[in-house]
Every structure is written in structure tokens, then in C-alpha cells.
């Protein structure tokens, strides 16, 4: 059985609370879209947990969690959030969360571009969170972005990220961004990410007869 939790309005509708309740009986909880700009705050056993990119099904000890292909993942935020949950007592969280190899990487570059795009709109600003979600999805749509699975292969991130940076620099002459630092960081993430990256469809087939909860952003 598949249960889908979505909001039909503008956020802050209580999706996190509903997801928390439903995840207690779910075998698999999936984030379907969005990035680390989203937010669920859940109080469980008098402990407050903040979720952004991680599925809130991690609170349930028997629930496996998946960050799906439709998401965009800011890798530093993923590890920061995972560490915060472990420090609050969810010691096995790192063994119950996986990332689809087809999810896209949200770089710090995207955050910088997000701010520049917003500034260029003047009085017609969107009101973005500045986390780079919009530019990252734009790169995904134009097929120039980087997938999580590509981080595991040497050279791909560097080549694609240099191309992205060059394109944005042509568009925004005042782009202030440390390309070399981000490339260096992702060389380190290659090893750290490997245990979490899966083929989403292989994982889902294992749970085809189980209780699956899909969590909207």
C-alpha cells in the first residue's frame, strides 16, 4: 500500500505531524521532491527534531528512508542534518537512509546564483529562500546538472561543475564563488556518500508488497 502526504496550499499545513504518525507503521518513507529549503519540525518523546532534506520517517526505528530521484540534495546539509539527528539519539539513522543515484546535486554555486537572480528582479522578487533550489532544478531541466550517482565517479563533478560555473559567470559578471573549494570538497564526499547511494528502482521493487509512505516537500 502506498500513502501520499501532500499540501494543497502554501506550506505549514501540518504535513510533518501527519507523516510522523503514518511513518510509525510504514516500512519505507520517501521524500519525492524538493530540497533543504523545506522544513518539518517534529516533537517525539519530548525531543524536537528538525527535518529539511531527510525524510521524517527516520524517527520510526523500523522505517527505511529514501531521498528520491525528484529531489535536489545539498550534500553538506545532508551530512549536517544526519549528524544532528544522531546527536539527539537516532544513532542508527545513517543505516536507514538512502539517496537515489538519480537525485540532483544542489551546489553552493546554485545558492550564489539564486541570490543574484533574485537581486536582478528588483521589485518583482520571487521571495526565494536563497538555498539554490530553483537554479538547481533549472540545471536539471536543461540536462546540465550533476546527479548524486555521478559524484561517485572521479572527474565527472569537476568537469560538469566547471561548465556550470563558466556559464553562470558569463551571465553574472559579479559572480563571487570559490569553484576550486567546492571541487575539493566533493572529492572528499565521493567516499562519504557511497554507502548512501542506491538505485531507487531496485530498492522500490524490494518494497512492492510493503507499506510505503511518500512525503511531499
| Known catalytic membership, residue 40 | yes
From the candidates 12, 45, 174, 209, give the one annotated as an active-site residue. Answer: 12
CA distance linking residue 70 with residue 59, whole number of Å? 22
Cα–Cα distances in angstroms (integers) from residue 173 to residues 140, 148, 166, 199, in the given order = 23, 28, 10, 39
| Residue 15 assigned as binding residue | yes
| Known catalytic membership, residue 12 | yes
| Residue 38 assigned as binding residue | yes
| Residue 129 assigned as binding residue | yes
From the candidates 36, 40, 52, 74, give the one annotated as an active-site residue. Answer: 40
| Residue 141 assigned as binding residue | no
| Known catalytic membership, residue 140 | yes
| Residue 48 assigned as binding residue | no
CA distance linking residue 97 with residue 29, whole number of Å? 9
| Residue 40 assigned as binding residue | yes
Q: Which residue has the cell 499540501?
A: 7
Sheet of 28-31, strand order: 2-5, 212-215, 28-31, 64-67, 97-100, 197-198
| Residue 132 assigned as binding residue | no
Radius of gyration from C-alpha coordinates of the chain: 18
From the candidates 52, 74, 110, 140, give the one annotated as an active-site residue. Answer: 140
Which amino acids are annotated as binding site for GTP, given as ranges?
11-17, 39-41
The residues annotated as belonging to the active site are 12, 40, 140
Which amino acids are annotated as binding site for Mg(2+), given as ranges?
12, 39
Which amino acids are annotated as binding site, given as ranges?
11-17, 37-41, 129, 143
Which amino acids are annotated as binding site for IMP, given as ranges?
12-15, 37-40, 129, 143
Amino acid at each position: 500500500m502506498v500513502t501520499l502526504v501532500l499540501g494543497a496550499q502554501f506550506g505549514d499545513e501540518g504535513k510533518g505531524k501527519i507523516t510522523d504518525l503514518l511513518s510509525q507503521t510504514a516500512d519505507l518513507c520517501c521524500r519525492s521532491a524538493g530540497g533543504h529549503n523545506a522544513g518539518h519540525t517534529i516533537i517525539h518523546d519530548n525531543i524536537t527534531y528538525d527535518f529539511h532534506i531527510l525524510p521524517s520517517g527516520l524517527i520510526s526505528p523500523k522505517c527505511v528512508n529514501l531521498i528520491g530521484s525528484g529531489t535536489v540534495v545539498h550534500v553538506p546539509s545532508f551530512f549536517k542534518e544526519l549528524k544532528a539527528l544522531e546527536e539527539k539519539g537516532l544513532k542508527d539513522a545513517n543505516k536507514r537512509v538512502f539517496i537515489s543515484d538519480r537525485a540532483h546535486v544542489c551546489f553552493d554555486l546554485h545558492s550564489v546564483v539564486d541570490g543574484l537572480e533574485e537581486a536582478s528582479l528588483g521589485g518583482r522578487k520571487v521571495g526565494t529562500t536563497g538555498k539554490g533550489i530553483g537554479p538547481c532544478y533549472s540545471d536539471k531541466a536543461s540536462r546540465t546538472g550533476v546527479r548524486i550517482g555521478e559524484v561517485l565517479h572521479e572527474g565527472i563533478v569537476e568537469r560538469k561543475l566547471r561548465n556550470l560555473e563558466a556559464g553562470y559567470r558569463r551571465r553574472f559578471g559579479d559572480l563571487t564563488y570559490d569553484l576550486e573549494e567546492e571541487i575539493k570538497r566533493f572529492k572528499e564526499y565521493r567516499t562519504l556518500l557511497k554507502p548512501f547511494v542506491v538505485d531507487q528502482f531496485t530498492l522500490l521493487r524490494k518494497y512492492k508488497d510493503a507499506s510505503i509512505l511518500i512525503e511531499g516537500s
